[in-house]
Amino acid sequence: MTAALDNLCQELAEEFHRDPRGKRVADLLGRYAEEWREWTFFETEGYTRNLVHRCGEFELLLLCWNTDQTSPIHDHAGQQCWMAVLDGVVEEVHYREKAEGVVEGAVRRFQKGQVAFIQDEIALHLVRAGAGSRGVSLHLYSNPIDGCRIYEPQTGESRWIEVGYHSVRGELCGAKTAETVRSEWA
């Protein structure tokens, strides 16, 4: 791991040890801007989830979004999630569960250096590359997430999926991409 990522992970561990709510996490992620490119893996089939660090308090992932790639609508299994944009534009679309299915809410655009925060009490969401661009985002989950619920947009039907990694600490591990998961919906 690069020195800058090592330092960031150490600062995050200290922050969660000091305050489990992670009040300074957005500031720490927003300041991080270097030595991440060697950890990026883009795929045509779907966005990639690349594990940087995992411990008891949190996991840190680098997500790589090709043009027009999107995550499924999903929750965060009760965990807090921060997303810092490292490159490009990344959009977040909020959803609410209603009797008629999931209903789209706010659409937010984040550019390099900006940090978003979400938890299940705020909304379900999907994340995608900004129109016509690629993006790279750094995601921090407190605590690590091994699975989540994904939602079918038209009906609101949900199911639990296990999530994996495309790479771990820069080494490819062959995990499924988002498109593979979405095609298995039926």
- Map out the domains of the chain as residue ranges: 3-183
Helix ranges (DSSP H) in the chain: 3-18, 25-31, 178-183
Q: What is the pLDDT of residues 3-36, one digit of tens each?
A: 888 888 888 888 888 887 778 888 888 777 677 8
Q: What is the pLDDT of residues 69-84, one digit of tens each?
A: 999 999 999 999 999 9
Average pLDDT (137-149) is 94
User: Distances in Å between the alpha carbon of 99 and those of 103, 156, 186?
Assistant: 10, 9, 21
Q: What is the pLDDT of residues 31-43, one digit of tens each?
A: 776 778 888 999 9
Average pLDDT taken over every residue of the chain:
88
Which residue type sits at 115? V
Burial of 138 (0-12, 13-18, 19+ CB in 10 A): buried
Verdict on whether the full-model pTM lies above 0.75: yes
- Residue ranges with strand state E in the chain: 48-54, 59-65, 73-74, 80-98, 101-111, 115-118, 124-129, 135-142, 147-151, 158-162, 167-168, 171-172
Q: Torsion-angle region of residue 45: left (phi > 0), alpha (psi -120 to 50) or beta?
A: alpha
Task: Kindly report the CATH class assigned to 3-183.
Answer: mainly beta
Which residue type sits at 51? L
- Per the model's pLDDT, the better-predicted residue between 15 and 65 turns out to be 65
